[in-house]
């Protein structure tokens, strides 16, 4: 069950790796030799590299996320990062509404939002550039509209590894594109591609992205699935007399497994925070620390569990129930918060988790109804039994009085 869920979440978190994302070498105006799906934002790139003169013809395909938004593609000549990128950004003209494509240089002041992003000539050997909406002249700019940015540039001799950077934003102020969203999906829009071999080279982001994926899957399974299952086993299995103490060992085993797996996921999350000092996910971080703290208290509580005859046993049970349910609630809420942080708020991964959680809730409702039915039946039987005993005693007392008379 758990390995199967792990695989499902893995495929859902990265559908572009599990299944081939769409890319094409043919457009309405040109045909290219190679194409490659890019790792975020459903973007792709196609190109032809002419070795004899080191000329690169390419087309970048992306999508708008707002009717007044912008889409950008660029090259960073020095390193795989946003700062220093020479970009071509397309958006609707604020005056005419027609599509425009302007050059920009992303310097550190723009990243820190100290100054607006202003168009200026690129220091690249750009031979030509243009942008067209997919769908021809009748196409309109809207949320989800596909845009194609064409560029022809001359590369330096023997320089075939290109750092591609792309992104998209919600709106433009005048002719200055505003900051893009800061989800994981938007912050990982970088790829280093060898245009000669067509191989995507590993960049520094790949390791971090892998850690984020592992962190998300481990915590979704531990805090979001195993921990609630452990709470359900304790609530509903303990009343089955035929199981004896087995329910406790099942409950403790599931919760301990969840805590150990969650601790590993928590440690990866802390390490990710150290690797990304400029990115702060306040609510997600606080919920994670709170859930881990409560989980640690629950684990330590096992060491101080009083015997059933101890007078403090009822206080320990109240504490254990309160902290346990609080930990489960925080864990589930933080899993949903994690989906938003990773830019998977509308993904199949979140849908799969919601279905899993809904199934568990449905099982709980069925077991709760069954428990109340059994409880009411036993109460009725006990009441009838007490009434039978009471009537029997009355008859006995009546017969004794008759014998005395």
144 and 237 belong to one structural domain? no
Residue 173 lies in a domain: yes
Return the sign of the alpha-carbon dihedral for residues 323, 328, 331, 334.
negative
Please give the structure tokens belonging to residue 155: 């590369």
Say which residue the tokens 């309109």 belong to. 140
Over 60: is that where the pLDDT of 10 sits? no
List the binding residues: 215, 251, 284, 320
Binding-site sequence positions for heme b: 215, 251, 284, 320
pLDDT one-digit tens code per residue, 146-195: 899 999 999 888 888 889 999 999 888 888 898 888 776 777 788 888 88
- Domain range for 280: 205-387
Does 396 map to a domain? Answer: no
Q: Please give the biggest Cα pair distance in the chain.
A: 130
Residues 233 and 249 sit within 8 Å (Cβ to Cβ): no
403 has a pLDDT exceeding 70: no
The region of weakest confidence among 21-25, 138-142, 200-204 is 200-204
Quick one: average pLDDT of 375-381?
Answer: 79
Instruction: Answer whether residue 1 shows pLDDT above 60.
Output: no
User: Do 251 and 122 share a structural domain?
Assistant: no
169 and 299 assigned to the same domain: no
In terms of domains, do 216 and 354 share one?
Answer: yes
* pLDDT recorded at residue 282: 79
CATH number for position 378: 1.20.120.1770
**Closest to 220 measured CA to CA, from 346, 345, 336, 347:** 336
Higher pLDDT, 229 or 343: 229
Asked if 54 and 189 sit in the same domain, the reply is yes
User: How does the average pLDDT of the chain come out, rounded?
Assistant: 82
CATH of the domain at 89: 2.60.40
């Amino acid at each position: 069950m758990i390995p199967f869920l792990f695989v499902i979440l893995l495929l859902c978190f990265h559908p572009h790796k599990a299944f081939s994302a769409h890319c094409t070498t043919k457009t309405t105006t040109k045909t290219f030799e190679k194409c490659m799906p890019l790792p975020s934002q459903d973007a792709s790139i196609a190109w032809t590299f002419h070795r004899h003169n080191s000329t690169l013809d390419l087309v970048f395909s992306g999508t708008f996320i707002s009717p007044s938004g912008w889409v950008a593609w660029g090259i960073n000549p020095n390193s795989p990062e946003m700062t220093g990128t020479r970009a071509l950004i397309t958006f609707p003209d604020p005056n005419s509404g027609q599509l425009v494509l302007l050059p920009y240089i992303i310097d550190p002041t723009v990243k820190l939002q100290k100054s607006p992003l202003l168009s200026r000539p690129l220091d690249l050997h750009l031979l030509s550039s243009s942008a067209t909406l997919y769908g021809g002249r009748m196409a309109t700019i809207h949320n989800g509209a596909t845009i194609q940015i064409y560029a022809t540039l001359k590369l330096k001799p023997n320089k075939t590894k290109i750092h591609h950077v792309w992104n998209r934003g919600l709106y433009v102020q005048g002719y200055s594109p505003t900051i893009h969203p800061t989800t994981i999906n938007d912050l990982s829009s970088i790829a280093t591609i060898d245009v000669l071999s067509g191989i995507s080279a590993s960049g520094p982001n790949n390791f971090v992205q892998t850690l984020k994926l592992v962190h998300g899957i481990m915590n979704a399974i531990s805090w979001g699935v195993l921990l609630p299952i452990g709470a359900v086993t304790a609530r509903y299995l303990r009343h089955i007399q035929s199981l004896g103490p087995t329910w406790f060992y099942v409950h403790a085993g599931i919760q301990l497994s969840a805590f150990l797996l969650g601790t590993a996921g928590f440690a990866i999350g802390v390490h990710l925070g150290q690797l990304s000092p400029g990115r702060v996910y306040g609510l997600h971080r606080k919920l994670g620390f709170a859930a881990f703290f409560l989980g640690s208290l629950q684990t330590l509580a096992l060491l101080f569990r009083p015997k059933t005859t101890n007078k403090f046993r009822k206080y320990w049970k109240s504490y254990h129930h309160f902290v346990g349910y609080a930990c489960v609630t925080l864990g589930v809420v933080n899993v949903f918060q994690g989906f938003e942080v990773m830019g998977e708020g509308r993904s199949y991964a979140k849908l799969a988790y919601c279905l899993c959680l809904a199934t568990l809730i449905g099982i709980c409702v069925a077991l709760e109804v069954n428990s109340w039915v059994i409880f009411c039946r036993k109460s009725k039987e006990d009441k009838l039994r007490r009434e039978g005993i009471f009537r029997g005693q009355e008859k006995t007392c009546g017969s004794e009085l008759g014998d005395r008379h």
